[in-house]
Amino acid sequence: MKRKYDIVWAETAENDLRGIIEYIAKDSPSQAIKIFRKITRAASLLYHLPNRGRIIPELQEQGVVQYRELLVSPWRVMYRISGKSVFVVSVLDSRRNVEDILLERLIQ
């Protein structure tokens, strides 16, 4: 039997997802719903297979290997595993510079 993990969305990740969906909904509410389902479905797959995502390359270069990501093009669902929980920490547009976004969040 596969191990089951709890999926916990950080407030930052929820805000990221909300911003993405609100932006898309301005032009296409139906597309926004599809994208919402696509991203949340991908994250829910971590329930059984949390290691399925890759280590985030930009962080790995800095020696930070506890964060992983799922690619839900063009978004990156970033998370970390702790015990029996998977913490979704960010949902970012892959066309943006992740290092700049993370630095900006640390400064705030």
Q: What is the pLDDT of residue 108?
A: 65
69: confidence class by pLDDT, cuts 50, 70, 90: very high
Question: Among residues 12, 6, 8, which one has the least CA distance to residue 90?
Answer: 12
CATH of the domain at 94: 3.30.2310.20
CB atoms within 10 A of CB 17: 21
Any domain includes 77: yes
- Per residue in 5-30, pLDDT (tens digit) is 999 999 999 999 999 999 999 999 99
Any domain includes 41: yes
Give the strand order in the sheet containing 85-93: 6-9, 85-93, 75-82, 67-72, 54-55
Any domain includes 1: no
Please give the residue range of the domain that contains residue 10. 6-107
- Per residue in 44-58, pLDDT (tens digit) is 999 999 999 999 998
d(CA 55, CA 74): 17
Any domain includes 16: yes
Any domain includes 51: yes
Q: Is the pTM of this model over 0.85?
A: yes
